[in-house]
């Protein structure tokens, strides 16, 4: 009994070994504008997300085991199948939604939440202002003429996203 009490007393009175606290590493953004987008950075971004420790790790590991492929290959396979199905249904609508809504929304949320440079936040505000005006004009024109103007929106708004083509600055300056 004295062995148990002496062991318990040593646990209570001994000083705990202090382990150095991990220094949080500031995550560097791989892509902050369209100029930074390339296949290597996209793959790094996908792998960072897929291999991050989270509550879905056992499920993803089991899918890898059953399929016999790495998780990024499974992800790209499912993504490719979804893209093909969407494009077969309405290619212009899908591309327009992706290029003019989904990607700019992701870029805006990233710019605001991570407190990137004010330049990126201003770029997002200018984009959404031009987008709102463009969609308003497009809906007015589509009621006058019976043309599908989504392709024009896709081309114009995608060119606004590029920092190499000063369309957004020129349009916003009007």
CA–CA separation, 71 and 55 (whole Å): 15
Provide the pLDDT for residue 107: 78
Q: How many CB atoms lie within 10 A of CB 20?
A: 5
Q: Who contacts 150 (Cβ-Cβ below 8 Å, separation ≥6)?
A: 92, 93, 96
Q: How many CB atoms lie within 10 A of CB 58?
A: 8
Provide the pLDDT for residue 5: 61
CA–CA separation, 151 and 156 (whole Å): 9
What single-letter DSSP state applies at residue 35? G
Provide the pLDDT for residue 85: 82
Provide the pLDDT for residue 162: 72
The tens-digit pLDDT sequence of the chain (174 residues) is 556 666 656 655 545 555 555 555 555 666 666 666 777 877 887 888 888 887 778 888 888 888 888 888 888 888 888 888 877 888 878 888 888 888 888 778 777 776 656 777 788 888 888 888 888 888 888 778 877 777 888 888 877 777 666 666 666 666
């Amino acid at each position: 009994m004295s062995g148990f009490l002496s062991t318990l007393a040593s646990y209570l009175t001994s000083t705990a070994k202090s382990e150095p606290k991990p220094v949080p590493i500031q995550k560097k953004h791989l892509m902050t504008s369209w100029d930074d987008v390339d296949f290597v950075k996209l793959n790094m971004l996908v792998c960072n997300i897929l291999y991050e420790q989270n509550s879905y790790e056992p499920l993803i590991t089991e899918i890898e085991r059953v399929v016999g492929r790495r998780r990024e290959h499974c992800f790209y396979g499912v993504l490719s199948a979804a893209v093909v199905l969407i494009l077969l249904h309405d290619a212009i609508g899908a591309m327009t939604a992706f290029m003019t809504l989904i990607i700019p929304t992701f870029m805006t949320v990233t710019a605001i939440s991570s407190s990137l440079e004010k330049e990126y936040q201003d770029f997002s505000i200018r984009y959404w202002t031009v987008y709102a005006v463009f969609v308003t004009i497009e809906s007015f024109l589509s009621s006058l003429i019976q043309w599908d103007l989504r392709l024009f929106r896709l081309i114009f708004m995608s060119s606004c996203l590029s920092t190499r083509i000063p369309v957004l600055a020129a349009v916003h300056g009007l």
